[in-house]
Structures are given as C-alpha cells and as structure tokens.
Amino acid sequence: MRKNSVKNRRINDEVMRSIAQIIRESKDPRVSKMTSVMAVEVAPDLKTCKVYVTVLGDEEVQKTTMEGLKKATGFIRTELAHRVNLRNTPELHFILDDSIAYGVSMSHRIDEVRAEDEKAEEVREEKGIDINDTSAYVKPLDDEEE
C-alpha cells in the first residue's frame, strides 16, 4: 500500500476520528478537554502511527496533556482496536503540533510589518516624497563618465 493511496487516506481518517473520540471520552485529569487531533499518519504496514495533537493553553497544560496521553497510550490503542477493524493495531506516537501557534505568531508579525509600512507611507506623504520617483534613488550618469 502506497503512502498516499486512497486506502491509506481512508485508514488515516478513520483512525483520526476514532482517536479524537477516545481522547474526548477520556477521564484522565491530565488530558485537557481542549485537545484536538490535527492529523494522523499510519504507516503503510499498519505497525506505527504518528498522532499530531494540539492543546489549547499554556506550556504547562500542553506538557501535562502530552504526559497524560503518553501514559494512556495502551488504553487508547486497546480502544482503537475495538473500534477500528485493522489487521494490526498500530503503535501510537503522540506528537505536539504547534503549527497553529506558529501560524498565529507569523500572522502577528505580518500585521506588525504592515503597520510599519503604513506609518512609513504616512511619513512619506507628509514630507512629499514620491516612492515611484526613481530620480531620488538613482544617480544620473554624466556623459563624461561613460
């Protein structure tokens, strides 16, 4: 089975849906209720599975949630075996996915750069500087220098 085959995508989707439901139903106090399963990558041989998880909260909440998930791996795997009929129940590896936080921080940086550009444009307008006027930036060549 190829990694991007239809069968593999269907298995990934079903495993992701089941693991998200198992985590939601979990009674472990260490696992935050604001935990989302972002993606799942089941190996083509169905032996291993990477589960990318996002936890809403500060670093301490994320750390305790990841510890709780790692301790509950056996339980989650057993429940997964009951819910999804696979030849092999994959070994689960939970990975904290911080792509959403990274995206938010990049969005803030872009907003800051735009605000600085708007301020610079206002200053240029006040001083009467035309940004499209290249004569201010390019030194004219004299005929004698050529």
According to the model, what pLDDT value does residue 2 have? 61
User: What confidence tens digit (pLDDT) does each residue in 81-93 have?
Assistant: 999 998 889 999 9
Report which secondary-structure segment, H or E, holds 50: strand 48-55
Q: Is the pTM of the predicted complex or chain greater than 0.85?
A: no
**Which band of pLDDT confidence, cut at 50, 70 and 90, is reported for residue 139?**
low
Cα–Cα dist 70/26, whole Å: 13
For every residue of 109-137, DSSP letters joined together read HHHHHHHHHHHHHHHHHHHT--TT-GGGT
According to the model, what pLDDT value does residue 80 have? 94
User: What confidence tens digit (pLDDT) does each residue in 8-28 have?
Assistant: 899 999 999 999 999 999 888
**Which band of pLDDT confidence, cut at 50, 70 and 90, is reported for residue 42?**
very high
**What percentage of the chain carries pLDDT values higher than 90?**
50
**Which band of pLDDT confidence, cut at 50, 70 and 90, is reported for residue 40?**
very high
User: What confidence tens digit (pLDDT) does each residue in 107-132 have?
Assistant: 999 999 999 888 888 887 777 776 66
| Residue 91 backbone phi and psi in degrees, to 5 | -75, 130
